[in-house]
Amino acid sequence: MLLLDGAGRILLLRGFDPARPNHRYWFTVGGGLDVGESMREAAARELFEETGLRLAPDEFTGPVWQDSARFPFDGQWYDQQQEFFVAHTPGPAWAVDFSGHDAVERASVDASAWWSVEDIECTDEKVYPVNLPQILRKLTEA
């Protein structure tokens, strides 16, 4: 999910791998599918669980980008097919609410921040997906 505020900034969450606590990184809102769920329904559910913002699946644009990711987390490897949708916050920026996080998220997500494309391009911190600035720039050029 690419959640944008009124200034065009994207919401990123900061987390870490419990098996590698020093490996900290920023990432977009999202997660896996529940049984019988469409990608759009999963995006709406994950948005609410991870940020407290409730939007209907038909309020999203996209998918605007798709890819596959392979990554380790807590000692296990995951293969994930990803579809990215765009959503916009009501008002200038959403005050993120972590109260919907599950146990894994509570143990591995510790911050959120609104980032401009320039912020992402200039940081020394890890941001996933690594090509996020290019994705965001294509969206603003469209």
CATH number at residue 116: 3.90.79.10
* Boundaries of domain holding 136: 2-141
- At 63, list the tokens: 């998918």
User: Is the pLDDT at 34 greater than 70, yes or no?
Assistant: yes
The model carries a pTM of 0.93
Mean pLDDT over all residues of the chain?
A: 92
- Number of domains making up the chain: 1
Task: Supply the pLDDT for residue 142.
Answer: 58
Query: In this prediction, what percent of the chain has a pLDDT beyond 90?
Result: 74
Q: Are strands 109-115 and 10-17 parallel, antiparallel or unpaired?
A: antiparallel
Average pLDDT over residues 121-140: 94
- At 95, list the tokens: 């005050």
CA separation for the pair 128, 92 (Å, rounded) = 24
Average pLDDT over residues 103-116: 93
Neighbour-count burial of 105, counting CB atoms closer than 10 A to its CB (0-12 exposed, 13-18 middle, 19+ buried): middle
